[in-house]
């Protein structure tokens, strides 16, 4: 009887410790490792890892936890993140939230701020360099998670991805440019 009590206590302590540390998935651990290290000189924060799958880490592994997150680029194949794009998401109940992108093109919605019911409807409104606005609505619904790069990989379309989320089909005149002095993105210390 004493052995059962000790074993039960040990198991309870191990279970509590695993909750405190978090249960890691070998598949997700491998996907996170494949992202590579952080860029030298760039602190983890809102500007890091532009174009990468935010919710791979911030969907349950690492605080802050996000309900949604991603990056918006200038064109389908340009490595030019766009600042001040308004990203609007609407969930299955009609609850809507809008957030702007930062200079690295990144946006995120903290899961304490919004807990959507899937599927989600997504749209972006970009201000083009000439001051005009362009609105795009995603044709399909988001059904599995709020991480754009879970489906929209950085770069142009491939057999496995529709490509990155972007503002214009081609570089407009005047052209989009990478934000100077941005800590993330291609001109900063970003990847």
Give mean pLDDT, residues 61-82. 93
Indicate which CATH number applies to the domain containing 46.
2.60.40
- Sheet containing 106-110: order of strands: 106-110, 66-73, 165-166
pLDDT confidence bin for 13, thresholds 50/70/90: very low
Q: How many domains, in total, are found in the chain?
A: 1
Question: Is 93 a member of any domain?
Answer: yes
Question: Is 77 a member of any domain?
Answer: yes
Highest mean pLDDT among 29-33, 64-68, 122-126: 122-126
What does the alpha-carbon distance between residue 92 and residue 154 come to, in Å, rounded to a whole number? 27
- pLDDT above 90 coverage of the chain, percent: 59
The CA radius of gyration of the chain, in Å to the nearest whole number, is 20
Question: Is 68 a member of any domain?
Answer: yes
Nearest by Cα to 119 from 94, 152, 92: 92
**Ranges 21-25, 29-33, 154-158: which has the least confidence:** 21-25
Its pTM stands at 0.82
Question: Is 186 a member of any domain?
Answer: no
Look at 65 and 24; give whichever has higher pLDDT.
65
pLDDT confidence bin for 4, thresholds 50/70/90: low
Question: Is 111 a member of any domain?
Answer: yes
């Amino acid at each position: 009887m004493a052995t059962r009590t000790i074993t039960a206590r040990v198991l309870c302590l191990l279970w509590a410790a695993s909750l405190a540390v978090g249960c890691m998935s070998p598949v997700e651990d491998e996907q996170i490792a494949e992202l590579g290290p952080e860029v030298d000189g760039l602190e983890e924060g809102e500007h890091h890892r532009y174009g990468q799958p935010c919710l791979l880490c911030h969907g349950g592994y690492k605080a802050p936890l996000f309900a949604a997150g991603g990056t918006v680029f200038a064109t389908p194949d340009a490595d030019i993140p766009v600042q001040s794009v308004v990203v609007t998401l609407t969930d299955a109940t009609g609850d809507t939230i809008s957030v702007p992108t930062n200079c690295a093109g990144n946006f995120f919605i903290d899961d304490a701020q919004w807990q959507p019911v899937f599927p989600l409807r997504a749209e972006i409104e970009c201000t083009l360099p000439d001051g005009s606005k362009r609105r795009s609505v995603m044709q399909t619904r988001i059904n599995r998670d709020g991480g754009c790069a879970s489906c929209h990989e950085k770069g142009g379309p491939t057999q496995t991805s529709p490509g990155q989320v972007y503002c214009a089909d081609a570089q407009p005149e005047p052209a989009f440019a990478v934000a100077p002095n941005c800590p993330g993105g291609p001109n900063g210390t970003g990847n």
